Structure 1
Amino acid sequence: MPYSLSVQLRTWSALLLTVSLVACSSTTSEPQASQTSVPSTLPAAPSASHPLPSADRDPLVNVHENPPATVKESAPPASASEQPPVSSSPSVEAATMQPEETPDDAAPPAASFQKKSPSLAHLMLGQSDKEVVRRYGPPVEAYPLPGDDQAVEIWEYDGFSVGMNDKDSIVYVEISAEGIDTGIRGLSYGMQGSQAAELLGLSPDELTNALSVEVAGGWLKIDLDPDNQKVLSFKLLKGDL
């Protein structure tokens, strides 16, 4: 009997020791599991105000195995001096620009003499003063024609003159110097009177110190030098002058 009781006591002691060891083992394993577990909620993306935590600050996060998502920062806008230049056509200052010559402003080619549509210096009888100014600009000098029944104002230019009536229409054109385009092919200041007469359709026996041809609306007259018979002036006049 005493032996049987002793065996039972040993058995119960062994069971109690085993239970204690199991309990201690369970208690010790719980912190380890909590330490190795990865938190279910990932940390927020790093920002300027919340920098990315390092391994020293939080050992629970393995930054090498699971790197956090990085935010791509946009480049700051380039300053005005760093921005590439915008290609554009070169600009020209208005002060250096020269007006292009238009076909209207350019002198038309000289034509043969026409009685039905006479002109001199590219001006025709009856044209307005605006046409004169458009082609040659304002006159150097202007004065009334003396001793005439009509009110005629003479506009003087370099080498030629234009007469305007009281309606601002051309009634008189005269070329009296070299270098002025007559507008009539082959006809020029200083040429021989015989050549001028031929261009006007006059016969040689009509050659005098003054050549005169009737044209539409008036007369075309040529004054010759009495000594050498060279042209001294061309005149286009309205018929009533």
Structure 2
Amino acid sequence: MLKKWFSQAAAAGMMITLAVTVAACGGDNAAQSPSPAQATVATVKTTAPTGSPAAGTVTAASDTMAPPEKAPGVNNYVQQAGNEAKPTTAATSKPKRTYDSYTVEKPLLMGVAIGDSQDSVVKLHGTPKSHYLMDDAEDPINVYEYDGFHIGLNPQKQVEFVEVASSEEDPGLNSLRLGQTTAEAAKALGKPDSSTDYVMTYKTKTTVLKLDIDTKSKTIQSIKLFGRSE
């Protein structure tokens, strides 16, 4: 009886061992077997005929990427034959020049003194943009016109007067310019030798500096330096 029981137990153990072994083998095969979805993908990739739309699509997507398009108007000159990029040149403005300031010992306007030669004027300011003759029966004056000022030359080709015509010019009067007030003129040049509501004058032995004044605004409308006889 005991021997029969051992025989049945041994048989049951063998059955259990066999079931575990079969389950283990089945698990390995399940892990290695692709899912239905995976099997489908593998089939599509491997069975698509060469040159078919599917194969061409896969190849284009994986191997070749089209370059992104440029935004319209960006570096278009590169695409146009015969068009080369040209460097831009900044607009040049008139160079600013400074002159010796007016003094009683050395009365100057625009760096020019009464009696200076025509050659010295051209050397300092260059060739005038135009000139005209003031018809005077006794002493005709040849007027050189520059941007912002005029210079009159007598028949001996010497400076007879200098006149400022633009507030953009710094005439060399301690920063005084056209359009400034009579108070600013007095501050820049000191007390005038004579003054009215219409004109302020500064005199030396050989020159007169004349400032014409607007009576309403009390601002300087013209500045002129000319010679005087003692």
TM-score class normalised by the smaller sequence: 0.5 to 0.7
Aligned to 2:222: 233
Aligned to 1:206: 195
Q: 1:148 to 1:208 in 2, by over 3 A?
A: farther
Aligned to 2:135: 146
* From 141, 159, 174, the counterpart of 2:148: 159
Aligned pair 1:126/2:115, yes or no? yes
Structure index of larger Rg = 1
Q: Which amino acid aligns with 1:120?
A: L
Q: Deviations over 1:152-172 (max 9, x none)?
A: 111111111000011111110
Aligned to 1:180: 169
Aligned to 2:104: 115
Q: How does 1:80-95 map to 2 (within 5 A)?
A: none
| Alignment TM-score, normalising by the size of structure 2 | 0.53
Aligned pair 1:194/2:212, yes or no? no
* From 166, 190, 206, the counterpart of 1:217: 206
Q: Which runs of 5+ in 1 are unaligned?
A: 1-104
Q: Tell me if the contact between 2:186 and 2:192 (Cα under 8 Å) persists in the aligned partners.
A: yes
Looking at structure 2, the residues matched to 143 and 204 of structure 1 have their Cα atoms a distance apart, in angstroms, of 33
Q: Tell me if the contact between 2:192 and 2:201 (Cα under 8 Å) persists in the aligned partners.
A: no
**SS at the partner of 1:133?**
helix
Q: Which amino acid aligns with 2:223?
A: F
Post-superposition offset of 1:197: 2.7
Q: Which amino acid aligns with 2:173?
A: I
> Structure 1 segments of 4 or more deviating over 6 A?
none
**SS at the partner of 2:186?**
helix
Post-superposition offset of 1:108: 4.6
Looking at structure 1, the residues matched to 176 and 209 of structure 2 have their Cα atoms a distance apart, in angstroms, of 12
Q: Deviations over 1:21-42 (max 9, x none)?
A: xxxxxxxxxxxxxxxxxxxxxx
Looking at structure 2, the residues matched to 181 and 211 of structure 1 have their Cα atoms a distance apart, in angstroms, of 19
Post-superposition offset of 1:216: 3.6
Looking at structure 2, the residues matched to 142 and 235 of structure 1 have their Cα atoms a distance apart, in angstroms, of 18
Q: How does 1:15-164 map to 2 (within 5 A)?
A: 107-108=97-98, 110-111=100-101, 113-147=102-136, 149-164=138-153
Number of residues of Structure 1 aligned to a counterpart in Structure 2: 135
Q: Which runs of 5+ in 2 are unaligned?
A: 1-94
Q: Deviations over 1:101-127 (max 9, x none)?
A: xxxx9945553x411210001111111
Looking at structure 1, the residues matched to 106 and 137 of structure 2 have their Cα atoms a distance apart, in angstroms, of 26
**SS at the partner of 2:175?**
coil
- Matched residues, percent identical? 24
CA RMSD across the alignment: 2.5
